[in-house]
Structure 1
Amino acid sequence: MRLTEQDHAKVTAAVTAAELRTAGEIVTVVARRSDKYNDVAAHAGVLAMLLMLAALSVWPGIAERLHALFYDPWSDAPHDGTLFGIALILSALAFLIGRYALASLPLRIALTPGATKARRVRARALDLFRTSAEKRTAGATGVLIYLSLDEHRAELIADAAIHSKVTPETWGAAMAALIVAVKDDRPGDGLADAVAQVGVVLAEHFPRAGDDRNELPDRLIEL
C-alpha cells in the first residue's frame, strides 16, 4: 500500500478546504509503520528457549541420548556438568531459531498483539504531535491526524484548546472512516474524509476569524 501524488493532492486540498471555516490547524502525517517490533522476535526466542528447558525437564533422556552420540555410553557415563552443558547449547539454539523465525517484519507485525500495536502507534503519534503541532499555533488549536499503514491504525491528537472543548469520542466516526478506507486500500480517500469530518467539528467550536492566518502546513507529510 502506498500513497500516490493524487492522494497527496487530495489530502492537501481537504486540509485547505477545512481550514477555510475554522481557526483550527490540521496536520496530516502518514508513516509506513510506527515500530520495527524487534522485541517481538526476541520474545519469541526467549519463549522457544523456555520451552526447550521445559522439554528437557520432562524428558531428561534427550540430553543423555545426545551425550551418547559423542561419548561411549559404557565407559563415559554422563555427569551433571555435561548434561547442563548440553541443555545450555540446546537452549541457545532454540533461542536463535525462535528469534530468526521472526526475521520477517510483516510476520512480526502480524504476531504482535493488537494492544501492543495500539500503544506503539499512540506513542509515535504523540512524539510527532509534540514536534509538529503542539503549541505551534497562537490559540493552541493544532490537530494531528496520524496514520500508520502497516498496523492499520490511526490516531488523532489535539492541542490544549481543542482538547478542553471536544471529547476524544467526538473523533470516533472520522477515525473509523479512515481505517475502513485504509483496509480497502484507499488511504488517500480515508484521510481526506477524516480531515473533512474533523474540519466540521473544529468549525463548530473554533470558527475562523477575519484575521486568521495559516500557521501550519496543509500538505500531507509522508514519513
Structure 2
Amino acid sequence: MSAINLFTAEEQQQIIQAIRSAELETSGEIRVHLEQHCPTPNVMDRAVQVFRQLGMEQTAQRNGVLFYLATDDRKFAVLGDEGINRVVPADFWETTKDIMRENFRQRQFTTGFCQGIERAGQQLRQFFPRLEDDSNELSDEISH
C-alpha cells in the first residue's frame, strides 16, 4: 500500500483542513509528508532532507514545521525550523510526538496528525502572529 493510501480522501481533507486552521492566525507554515520507507537509518536525518526538498527553510521567519511519516517503517518525526525552535519549550516537539504516538498506536493516524498540527499551530500563533501582508508561502497539500 502506498503511503498516501493510509488515508481516505476524506481523512486527507481533514488533515489539510487542520493545517489551514492552524495557519489562519499565524505567519508559520506547516507541511505533512508521507512516504512508505525511510531511506535513511535515522528518521530525523530524513525529515531534514524532506524539509529542504520542500523549501521549508525559505520561509521569511524560519517558522516552518514538518510532520513526516514513513508508513511501512513505522517511523515519524516532527521538525521545526530554527525560528520556531528558538521560542517553543525545550520538550515541545517530544511531547507533541508523544500525543501523536499514542494515537498512532491506536491506529488513529488522522487524529494523531490533527492533534499534532493543532499543537504546532497554537505555538505558531503565540510566537508568530499573522502579519497584515502575510501570504501562504507553502502548499497545504500532503506531499509524498
Instruction: Give the shorter-chain TM-score range.
Output: 0.7 to 0.9
Q: Deviations over 1:58-113 (max 9, x none)?
A: xxxxxxxxxxxxxxxxxxxxxxxxxxxxxxxxxxxxxxxxxxxxxxxxxxxxxxxx
Instruction: Mark the runs of 5 or more structure 2 residues left unpaired by the alignment.
Output: none
**Structure number, greater radius of gyration:** 1
Question: Aligned equivalents of 1:133 and 1:171: distance in 2?
Answer: 21
- Residues 38 and 75 in structure 2, CA contact (< 8 A), matched pair in contact too: no
Question: Aligned equivalents of 1:165 and 1:199: distance in 2?
Answer: 13
Q: Map residues 83-94 of structure 1 onto 2, 5 A cutoff.
A: none
- What is the SS of the residue equivalent to 1:140? coil
Among all aligned residue pairs of Structure 1 and Structure 2, give the percentage whose two residues are the same amino acid: 28
Give TM-score, length-normalised by structure 1: 0.58
Shift of 1:205: 1.0
Aligned length: 140
Matched, 1:155 2:77: yes
Q: Map residues 96-175 of structure 1 onto 2, 5 A cutoff.
A: 119-175=41-97
Question: Aligned equivalents of 2:115 and 2:17: distance in 1?
Answer: 11
Question: Aligned equivalents of 1:131 and 1:200: distance in 2?
Answer: 25
Structure richer in strand, relative to its length: 2
Instruction: Mark the runs of 5 or more structure 1 residues left unpaired by the alignment.
Output: 36-116
Q: Which residue of 2 aligns with 1:7?
A: 11
Question: Aligned equivalents of 2:36 and 2:103: distance in 1?
Answer: 16
Structure richer in helix, relative to its length: 1
Shift of 1:168: 4.7
Give TM-score, length-normalised by structure 2: 0.87
Root-mean-square deviation (CA, aligned residues, Å) is: 1.9
